Amino acid sequence: MGIEPGPQWRRLLKAAAAAMEREAASFSLSDPDTAERHLIIGITGRHRRAAQRRLRLSIAELEAHVAAQFGVDLKELILTELGIEVGAARRRRLERDAGVGRLLAEARRSSLSGAAWFGSWLEALRSNGALAELARDGESLAPVIRALEALPVDDVPMPVLAERMLGDTKALASGRSRGLLLRALSAWRGIEYPEGSEAERELLEWAGIVSDDIASQVLVLNLPITGGVVGEWMRSARGVPFRITLQQLRLEPFSVAASTVRVVENPSILRAAADALGPDCPPLVCTEGVPSAAVYRLLEAATGARLLWRADFDWAGLRIVERGLDRFPGAEPWRMSSADFESGVKGIGLRGKRIKASWDESLSALMEAEGRAVMEESLLEELLEDLRLGT
């Protein structure tokens, strides 16, 4: 190339490269300066007024001019001057689309492909670019889909499931595979993607995956358990708060022989009940926040028992109670009415996403209007009186 293009060529070549990438036949240059306008006049052989804000020319015209002026192909000139390989982006896009197509075809061979949530999950992964990233990195959805096909499981530790389905005990502890699994479970359950470790744990345990069956625990007081070593421990722990792990609950068959079991969120309530009532306190279970797999495993053994469930008057607390009532159809809210909220001491400001309390139509609106939470501890005297009277 004997003659070098001047600076007036730079914007023109860049616009031409973008047009060729789109396979467009022509392109335009906006707000050209005098040198750029004269260049386009020379290329096209048509006069352009200085007042024109946008000048259009065809790729064919430009190609012919570049060949005559510089003796090279237009694509070669663009690569030399701008370092842009025309067609490379399109080639990458086609490769990406082909990779995404392969992933989707692979997923549709799954036994889950007929489920509406599965299709929604795949569409979300396609829309947010996750499938494109997988295709780019040469990875597959197959391991995560195998894990989904095995769900729900019966309180299987996460490392065990990860080793069995993904070949790596830590594959679901963090990273891409965990995110893909959580998005799938969210779609399956029909909820938004979990925010925070507690919400993630609760979602995984909904599918029977526990992070650690020793770390998953439940705090109890005076719970009459029969069967196994846990039953022996509880007989000797009358009046004393006792912590039970999921691993212990899985050792041997057991049952909960209680007519009524009350469930609270905060350990301070259970501790106060132990101090005030000791062995005379009715059976009490504490979730310590979002219920763990151990909580659910224990309460599932309380067949025939009346479950009375409560938590803090905040959005997280309402969500805890709502899920408890949903999981155990015979369960009832305990001091979770609008009147109970109004009688409590208003504390910190409400945070998080609003949830409607199905058991009291006016409760959520009242809480939202107040804008402040009522913690369980502010109702301690009423709760202790209920426990004392067994009401």
CA 295 to chain centre: 23
The pLDDT tens digits for 8-67 are: 999 999 999 999 888 899 999 999 999 999 999 999 999 989 889 999 999 999 999 999
The pLDDT tens digits for 189-227 are: 999 999 888 889 889 988 999 888 888 899 999 999 999
Q: CA 347, CA 360: separation in Å to the nearest integer?
A: 21
**Residues near 347 by beta carbon (within 8 Å), at least 6 away in sequence:** 372, 373, 374, 375, 378
The pLDDT tens digits for 299-346 are: 999 998 999 999 999 999 999 999 999 999 999 999 999 999 999 999
List for the chain the helix, strand, coil content (%; round to 5).
Answer: 50, 10, 35
Neighbours of 294 (CB within 10 A): 28
Whole-number pLDDT of residue 1:
54
Whole-number pLDDT of residue 211:
83
- Cα Rg of the chain (Å, integer): 33
Pick from 232, 224, 202: which is nearest to 298 by CA? 224
**What is the token pair recorded at 339?**
């009147």
Whole-number pLDDT of residue 54:
92
- Give residue limits of the domains in the chain: 7-86, 90-209, 217-389
Q: CA 2, CA 73: separation in Å to the nearest integer?
A: 14
Whole-number pLDDT of residue 2:
56
User: Would you tell me which CATH number, out of the four given (3.40.1360.10, 3.30.70.100, 3.30.365.10, 3.40.109.10), belongs to the domain 217-389?
Assistant: 3.40.1360.10
Whether the CB-CB separation of 216 and 245 falls below 8 Å is answered with yes
pLDDT band, residue 279 (cuts 50/70/90): very high
Three-class secondary structure of residue 241 per DSSP: coil
Pick from 343, 284, 289, 296: which is nearest to 312 by CA? 289
pLDDT band, residue 264 (cuts 50/70/90): very high
Neighbours of 99 (CB within 10 A): 19
Tell whether pTM > 0.75.
Answer: no
